[in-house]
Amino acid sequence: MTTIRIMSYNLKGCRDSGAVWRVIDQAGADFVALQNVAELPSSKSLSALAAFTGQKIVSRGETRALALLSGLPVKFIQTYDLGFGAGCMKAKLHIGDKRCLLYNLSLHGGLFKRLIQIRRLLGPDLLDQPGPPFPTLVLGDFLDMMGMASSLRVHKKMQRIAPLFAGTYPAFFPIFARDRVYAMQGVKVQSIRIDRSADARRATAHLPLIMDISLVDNLVGVTSSDVKRHAKMEIAPG
């Protein structure tokens, strides 16, 4: 198994960009999924943040100001418009010989708009695509205070791994779990926490999620017996 650290941080209501920098730097994450980056004081802040933490800006999303910072290779990334101002960034992460799909999400609008956005997230363009069953994480701002708008549809497809019994919003007195993480396939959670430090409470209106996850071997092997069942396949020598 391969273990990596991923951080999800909603910058909505940014009050102290210096505190944001320190929170991200101290997390020591391999990948940092950011939502509402436009809340930073200036357009140059994201570049300065990446330089400060020693990471690269892999992509800046066109919708809901999504961004991904990375210290490890990312081979594929694309941003999707979920409608009504909501967005989703899909990235394929490469960690050694393992692969992982990361969906960075920011919903927007009222209850019925969110239901439409969740349906698009679970549709054929995103989570319902055919292909190899890579370990998958879906994280970000679900906007849903009580977890009702997305719970039935999302929970049938994925397992919620954080937060289970704690809130991330509002940062000064967290009650609601607006920021959440869901998993599919070969993802094993080693540890997960909400940063409740003084910097995190002061930085933005949301507290960040930091998780250490292990990726199981998702390389599919084909045995000789499988080959024999297919007339058009032959076993290559060597």
CA distances from 146 to 7, 169, 229 (A): 22, 11, 51
Name beta bridge partners: 159: 183
* pLDDT tens-digit readout, 216-232: 865 544 444 444 444 55
Tokens 């418009």 belong to residue: 81
Residue 192 has pLDDT above 90, yes or no: yes
Rounded-to-integer distance, Cα 176 and Cα 172, Å: 12
What ranges do the domains of the chain cover? 2-228
Instruction: Give the whole-number percent of the chain exceeding pLDDT 90.
Output: 55
- Would you place residue 238 in the very low, low, confident or very high pLDDT band (cuts 50, 70, 90)? very low
Is 205 within 8 Å of 174 (Cβ atoms)? no
Nearest CA to 218 out of 41, 91, 99 is that of 99
Rounded-to-integer distance, Cα 76 and Cα 70, Å: 13
Kind of pairing between the strands at 2-10 and 209-215? antiparallel
Burial readout 129-146 (b: 16 or more C-beta within 10 A, e: otherwise): eeeeebbbbbbbbbbbee
CATH superfamily of the 2-228 domain? Endonuclease/exonuclease/phosphatase (3.60.10.10)
Q: State the pTM of this model.
A: 0.88
Query: Would you tell me how many other CB atoms lie within 10 Å of the CB of residue 88?
Result: 26
Task: Give me the chain's average pLDDT, please.
Answer: 86
* pLDDT tens-digit readout, 80-133: 999 999 999 999 998 888 899 999 999 988 888 988 999 999 999 999 887 778
115: CB partners within 8 A, 6+ apart? 149, 153
Q: What is the per-residue pLDDT for 79?
A: 92
